Amino acid sequence: MYAELQVLLQQRLDVIADHTFREHDPAAHLTALKEVSEAIQAFSTAHHHEFDAKLRHYLTNASYQKALDYLTQPE
């Protein structure tokens, strides 16, 4: 389950980091960002009860970088 969430979170960061895409087609860039953000939100809503308190907090507050770090870095 967390693998799918990690992919979505990474996709969002990749879209944000793609400055060439943003410069050449700002509308499409914004659409791509909106779509991946909505996918994260939908996933979070569907699996909210399966997350521990810390991950739930990060996702609820749209702290997506922190959520990705939490999922990918050992404690």
Instruction: Answer whether 51's CB lies under 8 Å from 59's CB.
Output: yes
pTM given for the model: 0.90
> Is residue 32 a contact partner of residue 21, using CB atoms and an 8 Å limit?
yes
Q: Residue 63 in contact with residue 48, Cβ under 8 Å?
A: no
- Indicate if the pLDDT at residue 1 is higher than 90: no
**Mean of pLDDT values over 53-68:** 95
pLDDT tens digit sequence for 5-44: 999 999 999 999 999 999 999 999 999 999 999 999 999 9
